[in-house]
């Protein structure tokens, strides 16, 4: 591991001697980096800033659309453009750190992210905001892999668990607090900035990260000179675009045939990428992805668990937001504050799982977390079904707390497990793969939301309306003073409107069936308002129940796959000293 340091010459000479032809041990790296905990603070704040932007923009989307006069497709690109650029850059960004220096690429990522945030915050046209978000996502893809790789090469084996625990905690908090913070910023409209503040707040944080990070983060890179694999970059980018873009945009585009063709055609492109990586490794030893990593059991099995788990979490987080904000009609701030029990649960297990539970009980601790997660989901399914449109934040507090406990126990140790036996020279590449794997899981989860949640929403809405119709006809006659024949005609128009609205891609759009004459009468509208709120809450609750039932099935699969994770992973320091593995998972 090459190191740029300001240590005394005698120390540098000793390090150079030890570094020739081999990585430094973790303990030696610690002695060279007395500022490692200060560096970790910078890394975690930067990671929080990036992960927050992945969720916070969703809450502010309606405000952006209103102020900029943007179409629905443009706002979708504000959200999807960030995700797509982020996913595409992760593998390349990780390898750039191995080649050119992880500290250097981290600072490049933070600087570019900060400038793009400023550009997004001052955008005056929809296309400007879309462009800024794409650039922001791309620089996030450069910055984020460096966080895991710097942690991996900087801390000793014992300290690395604590560092990864804090990283997992930050990730969980950012994913959930994005809803609350976004809602607060938009609702309070501080300084009259409205949605712009969610981007502009990144600017001072990014500038502090650049100034402080440059002083406390130690440089590291692969010990042997690597070359950038440009053909590998092209193949990986094309393959991922063909796979991820249809997943991200499938529902908005109506799941066109070309989307399925693109996803199927991605397979030979990615196979070609793998074959090229093998040839590249034989020829000059500088592949974009070191395929030998997949022969490490902890790496390959951990990645499998990670992607399937985050497929379920992607379903849950997106469906949960729809359920609360659209189905129940809660404000962004209330929806965000409702997430606090999840945050508390994740906080309690994020650190303890890596520092205590997993080191002591191994993969059994993670499997216990999966069981707790299933219990939380099952209780949430019961509450959603029993309360329907009458559900309150207090009703779902206990289920969310259990889901948070399970999430923290399962998710937090995964990056440590996946990278535990990765050579320091491939830390950046491995970190890029971990993050790409996570983003792919989220993309698949988002696609499943379209199939599972929205696929059943129209039928659930029709069923809920049918249950209302007998009483609705009576109320239309008694309150709106319609004749029985007019009441039946109006009730049918109401059913058509409700089912058509639930099938809209943009749930803010009013379908033509909702503007017919029988529904425009003021007395009729006053009667229907209560029924509309109830049917929306009930139908969304039914769809969310189905989504969580699928997530329960995914969690059971995750539980079973955890048996593939080694019971004992190699502890680097002890393994070098004694030649034996140490219990860490």
Q: Per residue in 540-574, pLDDT tens?
A: 889 999 999 999 999 999 999 999 988 755 544 33
Give the pLDDT score at 4: 37
Give the pLDDT score at 172: 66
User: Where does 1-227 sit in CATH, by number?
Assistant: 1.20.1250.20
| Average of per-residue pLDDT across 528-550 | 89
Of the candidates 130, 126, 156, 106, the one whose C-alpha atom is nearest the C-alpha of residue 431 is 106
Q: Do domains 1-227 and 301-454+501-511+531-585 have the same CATH topology?
A: yes
- Burial class (CB within 10 angstroms; exposed 0-12, middle 13-18, buried 19+) of 192: exposed
Which pLDDT band holds residue 30 (cuts at 50, 70, 90)?
A: very low
Which pLDDT band holds residue 344 (cuts at 50, 70, 90)?
A: confident
Of the ranges 472-476, 505-509, 536-540, which one carries the lowest mean pLDDT score?
505-509
| Residue pointed to by tokens 């081999």 | 22
Question: pLDDT, tens digit, for every residue of 233-286?
Answer: 999 999 988 988 888 777 777 788 999 999 999 999 999 999 999 998 888 878
| Average of per-residue pLDDT across 291-306 | 90
Give the pLDDT score at 16: 38
Of the candidates 329, 382, 345, the one whose C-alpha atom is nearest the C-alpha of residue 536 is 329
What predicted TM-score, i.e. pTM, was given to this entire model?
0.81
Written as one string, the DSSP assignment of 408-444 is HHHHTTHHHHHHTT--GGGHHHHHHHHHHHHHHHHHH
* Distances from the Cα of 381 to the Cα of 76, 309, 374, 378, angstroms: 29, 19, 10, 5
Q: How many Å separate Cα 290 from the centre of its chain? A: 25
95, pLDDT greater than 80: yes
SS3 156: coil
Mean pLDDT of the chain: 82
Q: What is the rounded distance in angstroms from the CA atom of residue 562 to the CA atom of residue 490?
A: 55
Question: pLDDT, tens digit, for every residue of 180-198?
Answer: 676 677 777 777 777 888 8
Q: What percent of the chain has pLDDT over 90?
A: 23
**Hey, what long-range contacts does 387-391 have (CB within 8 A, 24 or more apart)?**
387/541, 388/534, 388/537, 388/538, 388/541, 389/328, 389/533, 389/534, 389/535, 389/536, 389/537, 389/538, 389/541, 390/537, 391/328, 391/537, 391/541
Q: What is the rounded distance in angstroms from the CA atom of residue 406 to the CA atom of residue 411?
A: 8
Give the pLDDT score at 3: 35
Q: What are phi and psi of 221, to 5 degrees?
A: -160, 180
Q: Map out the domains of the chain as residue ranges.
A: 1-227, 229-285, 301-454+501-511+531-585, 456-500+512-530
Q: What is the rounded distance in angstroms from the CA atom of residue 170 to the CA atom of residue 416?
A: 15
288: tokens are 């974009």
21, pLDDT greater than 50: no
SS3 209: helix
Give the pLDDT score at 38: 87
332, pLDDT greater than 50: yes
Residue 516 DSSP code: S
Q: What is the rounded distance in angstroms from the CA atom of residue 79 to the CA atom of residue 499?
A: 27
Which pLDDT band holds residue 178 (cuts at 50, 70, 90)?
A: low
Q: What percent of the chain has pLDDT over 70?
A: 88
Give the pLDDT score at 235: 93
198: tokens are 């969610």
Question: pLDDT, tens digit, for every residue of 410-429?
Answer: 988 888 888 888 887 787 77
62, pLDDT greater than 80: no
Please, are residues 468 and 487 in contact by the beta-carbon 8 Å criterion?
Answer: no
Written as one string, the DSSP assignment of 19-76 is HTTSPPPHHHHHHT-TTHHHHHHHHHHHHHHHHHHHHHHHHHHHHHHHHHT--HHHHH
Quickly name the fold that domain 301-454+501-511+531-585 has. Growth Hormone; Chain: A; (1.20.1250)
Q: How many Å separate Cα 468 from the centre of its chain? A: 38
Give the pLDDT score at 32: 46
Please, are residues 402 and 376 in contact by the beta-carbon 8 Å criterion?
Answer: yes
Of the ranges 29-43, 81-95, 470-484, which one carries the lowest mean pLDDT score?
29-43
Q: What is the rounded distance in angstroms from the CA atom of residue 204 to the CA atom of residue 299?
A: 37
Q: What is the rounded distance in angstroms from the CA atom of residue 565 to the CA atom of residue 549?
A: 25
Residue 295 DSSP code: G
């Amino acid at each position: 591991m090459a190191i740029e340091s300001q240590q005394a010459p005698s120390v540098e000479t000793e390090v150079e001697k030890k570094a020739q032809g081999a990585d430094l041990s973790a303990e030696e790296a610690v002695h060279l980096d007395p500022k490692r905990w200060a560096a970790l603070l910078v890394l975690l704040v930067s990671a929080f800033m990036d992960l927050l932007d992945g969720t916070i923009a969703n809450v502010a989307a309606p405000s952006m659309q209103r102020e900029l006069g943007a179409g629905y497709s443009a706002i979708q690109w504000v959200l999807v453009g960030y995700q797509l650029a982020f996913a595409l850059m992760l593998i390349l960004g990780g390898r750039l750190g191995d080649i050119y220096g992880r500290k250097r690429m981290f600072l490049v990522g933070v600087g570019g992210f900060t400038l793009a945030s400023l550009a997004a915050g001052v955008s005056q046209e929809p296309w400007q905001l879309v462009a800024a978000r794409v650039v922001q996502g791309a620089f996030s893809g450069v910055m984020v892999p460096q966080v895991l790789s710097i942690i991996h090469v900087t801390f000793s084996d014992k300290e690395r668990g604590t560092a990864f625990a804090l990283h997992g905690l930050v990730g969980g908090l950012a994913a959930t607090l994005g809803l609350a913070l976004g809602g607060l910023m938009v609702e309070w409209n501080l300084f009259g900035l409205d949605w712009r503040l969610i981007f502009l707040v990144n600017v001072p944080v990014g500038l502090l990260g650049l100034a402080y990070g440059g002083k406390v983060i130690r440089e590291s890179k692969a010990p042997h000179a690597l070359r950038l694999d440009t053909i590998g970059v092209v193949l990986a980018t094309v393959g991922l675009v063909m796979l991820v873009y249809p997943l991200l945009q499938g529902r908005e585009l109506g799941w066109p045939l070309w989307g399925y063709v693109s996803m199927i055609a991605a397979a030979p492109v990615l196979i070609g990428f793998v074959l090229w990586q093998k040839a590249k490794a034989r020829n000059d030893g500088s592949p974009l992805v070191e395929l030998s990593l997949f022969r490490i059991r902890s790496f390959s099995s951990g990645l499998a668990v990670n992607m399937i788990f985050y497929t379920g979490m992607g379903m849950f987080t997106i469906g949960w937001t729809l359920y609360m904000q659209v189905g129940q009609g809660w404000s962004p701030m209330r929806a965000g504050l409702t997430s606090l029990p999840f945050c508390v649960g994740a906080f309690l297990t994020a650190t303890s799982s890596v520092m205590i539970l997993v080191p002591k009980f191994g993969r059994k601790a993670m499997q216990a977390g999966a069981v707790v997660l299933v219990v939380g989901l099952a209780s949430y399914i019961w509450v959603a079904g029993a309360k329907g449109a009458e559900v309150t934040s207090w009703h779902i507090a206990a289920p969310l707390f259990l889901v948070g406990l399970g999430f923290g126990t399962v998710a937090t140790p995964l990056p440590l497990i996946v990278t535990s036996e990765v050579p320091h020279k491939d830390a950046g590449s491995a970190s890029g793969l971990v993050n790409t794997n996570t983003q792919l899981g989220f993309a698949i989860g988002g696609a499943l939301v379209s199939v599972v949640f929205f696929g059943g929403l129209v039928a659930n809405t029709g069923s809920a309306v049918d249950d209302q119709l007998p009483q609705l006809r009576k109320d239309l006659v008694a309150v709106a003073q319609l004749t029985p024949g007019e009441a039946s005609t109006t009730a049918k128009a109401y059913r058509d409107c409700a089912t058509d609205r639930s099938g809209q891609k943009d749930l803010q759009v009013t379908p033509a069936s909702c503007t017919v004459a029988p529904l425009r009468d003021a007395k009729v509208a006053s009667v229907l308002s209560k029924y509309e709120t109830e049917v929306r809450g009930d139908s969304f609750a039914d769809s969310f129940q189905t989504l969580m039932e699928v997530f329960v099935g995914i969690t059971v699969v995750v539980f079973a796959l955890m048996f593939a994770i080694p019971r004992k992973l190699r502890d680097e320091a002890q393994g070098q000293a004694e030649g034996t593995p140490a219990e860490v998972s």
